[in-house]
Amino acid sequence: MNTITRAAVAAVFLASSAAHAGSVEDEIVRNVTPLLNNMPVEKVVQSQHAGLYEILTPRGLFYTDKSGSFVIFNAVMVDSKTKVNLTDRRVDELIKFNFSDFPLKDAIKTVKGDGSRVMVTFEDPNCGFCKKLTGEIDKIDNVTVYTFLMPILSPDSTTKAKAVWCSADRSKAWADLMGRNIMPAQVTSSCDTPIERNLALGRRLHVNGTPAIYYKNSPKERGYVKAEQIEAKLK
């Protein structure tokens, strides 16, 4: 077989493989969509584990086989040695969102000490664990915290988030509300808020609960964590 013939055969093989891969994804989407109540499927990717396929949706990562004959809901894959949540890590890899991409103008900026270390949080004003997180962050120095208001718990959460954002000193208003249950002064004039953009960003990042914490060089945290855990991630 000459070089040209071998190249032609290779091209046909690659095209056939690509078409087959696409057909596998299409079959999976077709078969699992009814089980997902027509939830949008963002990506279908073959997993590195146990011959499974990953289904990325707005509600997280689900697993299936190559024909979509079943769906494993709400599964969390954990590395038995490192105890790392492989499902969360994989969602982050599939989303491909860099820390530098955060639209920080849409967040409340709080600077402590020299502010040299940076973290991002997503929080709801009525979130009890967010209030506990405030107490832990108070123990940390030399950090800049960017808080994206993400009111998802109730209509009252939106009211409070808007009041905080429209305050003259947003950082103080947020600290007073979350740390001392002091409501912001009544805002008499309306102001533009980033709340809808924050909610859209949260959906893109699959933030389905608060608090969520992001770091520059460490995996994110889901839920409330103590000051020493935050310190370890900021180093």
pLDDT at position 227 is 96
From residue 213, give the alpha-carbon distance in Å to each of 96, 184, 219.
16, 24, 9
Looking at residue 113, what is its pLDDT? 96
Distance CA 52, CA 50 (A): 5
Task: Tell me the domain boundaries of the chain.
Answer: 3-95, 99-234
pLDDT, position 188:
54
Is the CATH code 3.10.450.70 the one for domain 3-95? yes
The secondary structure element, H or E, covering residue 6 is helix 3-32
The structure tokens 């599964």 sit at 75
- Name residues of the chain where pLDDT drops below 50: 2-21
Could you say which DSSP state residue 218 is in?
S
The predicted model scores a pTM of 0.77
- Report the DSSP beta bridge partners of residue 123: 149
The pLDDT score that the predictor gives to residue 120 is 98
Local structure of 145: helix, strand or coil: strand
Mean pLDDT over all residues of the chain?
Answer: 87
Query: How far is 57 from 39, CA to CA, in rounded Å?
Result: 7
Q: What is the pLDDT of residue 15?
A: 40
Q: 99-234: what CATH class? A: alpha beta
Structure tokens at 93: 């890899």
pLDDT at 87: 85
